[in-house]
Structures are given as C-alpha cells and as structure tokens.
A and B are shown apart, each in its own frame.
Chain A
Amino acid sequence: NAGVMQNPRHLVRRRGQEARLRCSPMKGHSHVYWYRQLPEEGLKFMVYLQKENIIDESGMPKERFSAEFPKEGPSILRIQQVVRGDSAAYFCASSPQEGFNEQFFGPGTRLTVL
C-alpha cells in the first residue's frame, strides 16, 4: 500500500514561471491537504480539498495560487508567476474521510525560485 506520493521532489523555476506540484493521496483516501514549510519553520496550512471540491482555502494566498483535486488523477497545487518568496517545501497530506484526524504526509516538493 503506497503512501502519499508527490512529484516532482525538487522543482526549480525562474521568477515569473509557473510551478505545478502534484500529489497522489494514499489509496482509498479522498481528502487532501496542502501545507507550505519555510526553512527552520513549522508547516503552514494552505488548502483542504475533497474530490472536485475545495473545502477550505483559508491558508492560500489570494493571488497566483490555486489548487484542484479532480475526479481522476492527482491533486495539483499551481503557483503562477513565481517569486523568490515562494521558495519552500510544499507538503501534501491525505486522510480517508472527513472527521478522521490523522493526516498522512508525502515526502514534499522542494521549490526553488531563481
């Protein structure tokens, strides 16, 4: 039973380019969470999605960031027109159902903006 998968593991972009981060939840999990982690800091919640629905995006920056979790395929976190401040590790977590407290984390995508 594979865990949460994220790709790419490392992503380098120049300022102004787009970054697409993918997350495949654990088998049977329909709830996905995205977090951002700056160096030497804790994880900051960004967005919570279920299949085809954004449930809570209160932690998502209002501009340039978007997330989706289509009926088929992985969840995508998209960052348009990246800036140096977007450089961070982005983690995805999944859980099997609403109200299930434990979240299982993927290995993260490390985004570097040059």
Chain B
Amino acid sequence: GESVGLHLPTLSVQEGDNSIINCAYSNSASDYFIWYKQESGKGPQFIIDIRSNMDKRQGQRVTVLLNKTVKHLSLQIAATQPGDSAVYFCAEKGQGNDMRFGAGTRLTVKP
C-alpha cells in the first residue's frame, strides 16, 4: 500500500505486504532527513536517515528514497509486521538547529 503523508494520514496494510510511506518536505536547502517511528505513548524512535548527496539508503527491512527534484522522501518497509504499526514521521534538517517534522502517517498492519 501507499500513503501520501500529509494528504492521506492513515495507511492500512496486510501483514507480510510491503508498505510505502511518502513525505513531501518544504526546504530545498535541507541536507539531512530522518524517518522516525512513534508508538502510542512513546517518543520518536530513529529508523533510518539519509543525506542530500544520496538518493537511496537501505537498512534492515527499510529503504529510504530521496528525490530532491520534487522534494519527496519515501520510506519503504518490506514484509510489514504487526510490530511496525505506529505513526511514522519524516523530519528534515537544514542549516538551523531544529528538525522539522511532517504531520505523520499512521500505519496499521492487519494480521
């Protein structure tokens, strides 16, 4: 399944399927991006990051894709599991000190 982040804040997928969560970022000068996972009642947890000089980075079951031309970031989760159910935020960091977070996408994995 796919999500367009701010415009489709909820994504529901079947266990074992691949998930794609999308994010449009705002600042073309941003040079570092992170995906965070936030479970209910907890703080954000780092998943994967990517610098602006890259267009793809892979981790364990997760891949982040960066398209600077259209200022778009995506998170792909392979073989989604019930434990992946959470809200996922993309965050961008430019020259300043703060991370700017998107509104998030709620991923629900159905067993």
Contact = CB atoms under 8 A, between A and B. Distances in A.
Interface of A: 4, 33, 35, 40-45, 48, 55-56, 58-59, 91, 93, 101-108
B62 interface: no
Contact of A59 (B32, B36, B43, B98): B98
A4 B49 CA distance: 20
A58 B97 CA distance: 10
Contacts of B102: 42
Contacts, number: 55
Contacts of B89: 42-43
B104 to A, nearest CB: 5
Contacts of B46: 102, 104
B103 interface: yes
Contacts of A107: 41-43
B32 A101 contact: yes
Nearest to B6: A42
Interface in B40-59: 41-46, 49
B103 A48 contact: no
Interface residues of B, number: 23
A59 B103 CA distance: 17
A45 B103 contact: no
B43 A56 contact: no
Contacts of B49: 101-102
A35 B36 CA distance: 14
Nearest to A108: B43
B98 A33 contact: yes
Contacts of A108: 42-43
A42 B104 contact: yes
11 contacts: A40-B9, A42-B101, A43-B99, A45-B98, A48-B98, A55-B97, A91-B44, A101-B34, A101-B49, A105-B36, A107-B42
B3 to A, nearest CB: 14
